[in-house]
Amino acid sequence: MIDIADVVVRKPWGREYLCFRNEHVAIWVLHIKAGERTSLHAHPKKSTALILLDGAVYLSFVRGDVRLLGPLEKINIFRGRFHSTHALQDAVLLEAESPDDKHDLVRLEDSYGRVGAPYEGSEAFEQRGDPDEDLWISNEVRQSTPFLFAGCLFSISPLLLGATESDICVTLCGGLGHGLVPPGEAIDGRSVQRIAAVFPPLPHSAFLWIRKTK
C-alpha cells in the first residue's frame, strides 16, 4: 500500500501533499491554481483550519455567504460545515486536520464531476519532487530553528512568547488549559497571548508559529 505521506495528490484544481503528521493532527499543503476551486465539501468527523500563506482566495459556504482571505489569514472550519475554496490568484495554503482522516469527505457540489466520489485514489498519486521545494515539518522536535516557505517564517515552540497580532499559531499537540486551542486549531498571535495569560499551555505542548516575511 502506498503511504500517502510519500506522494503528491493531483487535484483538478492543483495539488496537495502531507507536510506534518502526529497522533493528534495532520497538516497538508494545498496549491490551488488561479480561477480554480475545491468542491463544496464537508468533513463529518473532523475539524480543519485553513491558513493562507500566499495568494488570495475566498471561501463560500452552503448558504452562499463568502469570506475573503489574504496572506496571512486563517479560518477554522468545524466538522460538518460545507465549504469551498476559490483561488483568485495562485494560492498556497496550509490545511490542518484533526483527527487525521483524509477519507472523511463528502462532496455536495463540484465543478469537476466528483459529487459523491471518495477521496482520490492511487491513480492521482505521484512521487514527491525536490525536497528543498516542498515543505516538511518534523514531528521529532519540540523547538526548531526557524525556516522559510511560501514567503512565511515558520518555527515550532512549546512557548507562546513574542507573538505579534499578525502571527498565526497552530497547535500541534497539547494546547491551552481547559481544552482551549486544541490540536489542529489556528489562532492569531494576539488572541492566543491574551488567553494563555489566564489558561497557560498544557505540559508537553508544541505550537507551530507562522509569520509573513513580506
Do 158 and 96 share a domain, yes or no?
Answer: no
Do 34 and 99 share a domain, yes or no?
Answer: yes
On whether the CB atoms of residues 141 and 156 are closer than 8 A, the answer is yes
pLDDT at 2 > cutoff 70: no
Tell me, yes or no, whether 138 lies in a domain.
no
Q: Across residues 169-173, what is the average pLDDT? A: 96
In angstroms, the Cα distances linking 178 to 30, 96, 145, 173, 198 are: 32, 21, 29, 14, 11
Do 109 and 17 share a domain, yes or no?
Answer: yes
Do 112 and 164 share a domain, yes or no?
Answer: no
In angstroms, the Cα distances linking 35 to 17, 80, 208 are: 20, 26, 30
Tell me, what's the pLDDT at 85? 98
Tell me, what's the pLDDT at 159? 73
Do 100 and 44 share a domain, yes or no?
Answer: yes
Tell me, yes or no, whether 122 lies in a domain.
no
Do 112 and 8 share a domain, yes or no?
Answer: yes
Tell me, what's the pLDDT at 197? 92
pLDDT at 1 > cutoff 60: no
Tell me, yes or no, whether 47 lies in a domain.
yes
Of the three residues 117, 139, 159, the one that is the final residue of a domain is 117
55: left (phi over 0), alpha (psi -120 to 50) or beta: left
Tell me, yes or no, whether 133 lies in a domain.
no
Do 103 and 160 share a domain, yes or no?
Answer: no
Range of the domain at 27: 4-117
Q: Note the pLDDT tens digit of each residue in 33-65.
A: 999 999 999 999 999 999 999 999 999 999 989
pTM reported for the whole predicted model: 0.94
Do 26 and 68 share a domain, yes or no?
Answer: yes
Residue 5: pLDDT band (50, 70, 90) is: confident
Do 34 and 110 share a domain, yes or no?
Answer: yes
Of the three residues 77, 96, 117, the one that is the final residue of a domain is 117
Tell me, what's the pLDDT at 143? 65
Residue 118: pLDDT band (50, 70, 90) is: very high
Tell me, what's the pLDDT at 151? 94
Tell me, yes or no, whether 63 lies in a domain.
yes
